[in-house]
């Protein structure tokens, strides 16, 4: 089995010196280089082919060595490099913000809601408990305010490139969020996802009731959707790209053949070894040997 180590620059150029340093490190750690380096995109992304997969400590050391020049490093199985399906988180991944935090800002409760969101994303409070507390604070928010929040949402850099690039190779693209279908539907349509999943807002007389409806889509549900699509499509988990930033994404990221923490919370950074720390979402295309196209 062979593995591809891909180095991806953000705002500093990738140089032959970077590649040579990584190859020297791999050799010193008993990770035989079988081919490379090979440019994918001159001074932006390059591949090094390895005979075995670097372990999490190797990946951590490489990230630290490349930190100053803001270069990301990702590794994937060479035989199943191009994925057949992508499952992507929404908040702080495909979009820059956290939906409920942004919604709370409209009604003067941003700090209260954001503190609960941060605790949930770092794994210090259970997801359902966090969702119940936040929705209770948002009782009475109007449908008009929901539309205001949706219209103001900003896409993360590279989001449209990522979805378009996956669809160009025939992959299914799924937005799978612990947020709400009111928002996942709008973002899915804007970016071009094949499918979307989320929780359902409880509305009465044009306003949020403050209650949550079962079933709640949490980290177990995200993993469930991954397994569902794998079975439905007759593929394996190694054919899956999953990307997210928070603790409720961890089971999905760990199960996927290529699970990437995107500008991750600490819990994610400690749980998975493929991280995009510096670049935008298009780095996930480079990891598959694809070049982002407009």
Per-residue confidence in pLDDT tens, the chain, 294 aa: 899 999 999 999 999 999 999 999 999 999 999 998 999 999 999 999 999 999 999 999 999 999 999 999 999 999 999 999 999 999 999 999 999 999 999 889 999 999 998 888 888 888 889 989 999 999 999 999 999 999 999 999 999 999 999 999 999 999 999 889 999 999 999 999 999 999 999 999 999 999 988 888 887 899 999 999 999 999 999 999 999 999 999 999 999 999 999 999 999 999 999 999 999 999 999 999 999 986
Q: 240 and 225 in contact (C-beta within 8 Å)? A: no
Spatial distance between the Cα atoms of 161 and 44, rounded to a whole number of angstroms = 16
Beta bridge partners of 241: 86, 258
Check whether the bond before 154 is cis (ω within 30° of 0): no
Catalytic annotation, pick one of 47, 72, 91, 249 = 91
pLDDT value of position 36: 80
What does DSSP assign to residue 54? P
Tokens 């819990």 correspond to what residue? 267
Per-domain boundaries in the chain: 1-81, 82-294
Which residues have C-beta within 8 Å of that of residue 18, sequence separation ≥ 6?
Answer: 7, 66, 69, 71
pLDDT value of position 28: 96
Q: For this structure, is 89 an active site residue?
A: yes
Check whether the bond before 37 is cis (ω within 30° of 0): yes
CATH of domain 1-81: 3.30.70.260
Spatial distance between the Cα atoms of 267 and 272, rounded to a whole number of angstroms = 9
Q: 187 and 99 in contact (C-beta within 8 Å)? A: no
The token duo for 235 is 């593929």
- CB neighbours of residue 231 within 10 Å: 9
Q: For this structure, is 280 an active site residue?
A: no
pLDDT value of position 183: 96
Catalytic annotation, pick one of 89, 218, 245, 273 = 89
CA 201 to chain centroid, in Å, comes to 23
pLDDT value of position 52: 96
pLDDT value of position 294: 60
Tokens 């996802």 correspond to what residue? 193
In terms of DSSP bridges, do strands 71-77 and 3-9 run parallel, antiparallel, or are they unpaired?
A: antiparallel
CATH of domain 82-294: 3.40.50.1000
Closest CA to 102 of 72, 145, 62, 66: 145
Tokens 């180095």 correspond to what residue? 7
Q: 285 and 162 in contact (C-beta within 8 Å)? A: yes
């Amino acid at each position: 089995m062979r593995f591809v180590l891909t180095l991806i620059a953000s705002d500093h150029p990738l140089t032959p010196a970077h590649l040579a340093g990584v190859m020297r490190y791999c050799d010193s750690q008993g990770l035989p280089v079988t081919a490379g380096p090979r440019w994918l995109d001159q001074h932006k992304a390059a591949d090094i082919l390895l005979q075995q997969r670097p372990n999490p400590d190797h990946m951590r050391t490489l990230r630290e060595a490349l930190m100053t020049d803001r270069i990301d490093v990702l590794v994937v199985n060479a035989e199943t490099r191009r994925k057949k399906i992508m499952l992507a988180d929404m908040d702080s991944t495909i979009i820059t913000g956290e939906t409920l935090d942004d919604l709370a800002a409209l009604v003067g409760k941003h700090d209260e809601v954001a503190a609960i969101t941060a605790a949930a994303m770092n794994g210090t409070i259970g997801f359902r408990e966090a969702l119940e507390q936040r929705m209770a604070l948002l009782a009475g928010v109007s449908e008009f305010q929901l539309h205001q929040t949706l219209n103001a949402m900003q896409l993360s850099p590279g989001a449209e490139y990522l979805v378009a690039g996956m669809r160009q190779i025939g992959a299914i693209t799924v937005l799978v969020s612990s947020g709400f279908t009111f928002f996942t539907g709008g973002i899915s349509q804007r970016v071009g996802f094949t499918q979307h999943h989320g929780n359902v807002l409880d509305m009465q007389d044009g306003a949020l009731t403050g209650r949550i409806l079962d079933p709640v889509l949490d980290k177990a549900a995200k993993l469930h959707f991954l397994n569902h699509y794998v079975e439905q499509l007759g593929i394996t988990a190694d054919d899956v790209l999953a990307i997210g930033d928070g603790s409720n994404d961890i089971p999905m990221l760990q199960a996927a053949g290529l699970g990437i923490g995107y500008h991750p919370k600490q819990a994610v950074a400690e749980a998975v070894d493929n991280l995009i720390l510096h670049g935008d979402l298009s780095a996930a295309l480079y990891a598959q040997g694809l070049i982002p196209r407009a």
